[in-house]
Amino acid sequence: MERWIESNGVRLWCETLGDAADPAMLLVMGLGAQGTSWPDDLCEMLRAGGHYVIRYDNRDTGLSGRVDYAARPYTLTDLADDAVGVLDGLGVDAAHVVGASMGGMIAQEIALQHPGRVRTLTAIMSAAAAIDPQSGTFRGSERDPRLVAWDARQVTDPPTTDEQRIQARLDLARILSGSLSPFDESATREIIAREFLRAGDMTHTMQNHILAVMASRDRSELVSSITSPTLVIHGTEDLMAPFEQGRALAAAIPGSVLVPIEGMGHSLPAPALARIASEILRHTNRVGV
């Protein structure tokens, strides 16, 4: 069921799947990505596992409201407040919170700021470290040369048409895909094109997310105070958030569990979805709610 919720001064799109009487699971997506970027198959597995699944568009993505960042700057803590507002709007007291990439960073902030709202925490391909403004990557890691080259192309030869923007996103997806399965160019292009059709060109608003991440605090030491049972899922071939970031995040949160997925990059590939779903469901079942 689709609906819109006013949260933290922004109108947010969200979709729910399953029975509202079941334990809620909030899915938080990453930088510039729409809530619909959570694969339908993964959402169905989580619903079939007994959860009321909630996915939503962060501010400045998808069908949710846009913000003038210069007039109203925000950080990941504000995005965490947005997410809690979604729970408020749906009448959910607490949820299993699952975040991917920047969404995993938002999920950490939810657990830090609103611990009573988080039954369990799952961070997928995420990190606690801040971004180094010089290198453009997480402190403690080096940016892969392939990403450096892609970044440079966006500056020297920026895309100006939708087709060029789709191609740039496709090129990035190929770089980030990992070796777990062959890169499916046609299927990925279709997904990206569908996102453009749904919400238009997101280049400008994606920049807001980059600014928000850069302005946000380093959580490397703060996450040691997280009390929610925590699962960290990370691909061993992640170029955007290198595997050592996932290892460091798991090491910093007391009692957390690290699940490496061999060959997975910075993506949610179809061959990994059943494993990811089973690990999340095993994690949430441990707490019995």
Which active-site residues does the annotation give?
Answer: 101, 238, 266
Q: Positive or negative, the Cα torsion across 280, 283, 288, 289?
A: negative
| Chain Cα centroid distance, residue 253 | 19
Q: Starting at the edge strand that comes first in sequence, how are the strands of the sheet with 230-235 ordered?
A: 2-7, 10-17, 52-56, 24-28, 95-100, 118-124, 230-235, 257-261
Helices (H), the chain: 40-48, 76-90, 102-113, 145-156, 162-176, 185-199, 203-214, 243-252, 270-286
Please list, in sequence order, all residues whose beta carbon lies within 8 angstroms of the beta carbon of residue 155, skipping any fewer than 6 positions away: none
Dihedral sign from CA coordinates of 209, 131, 226, 35: positive
CA pair distance 73, 225, nearest whole angstrom? 27
**Which amino acid belongs to residue 287?**
V
Assess contact for 81 and 113: CB atoms under 8 A.
yes
Contact at 8 Å (CB) between 31 and 206?
Answer: yes
Q: How far apart are CA 74 and CA 157, in angstroms?
A: 29
Contacts of 44 (CB under 8 A, 6+ apart): 17
Phi and psi at residue 170, to the nearest 5°: -65, -45
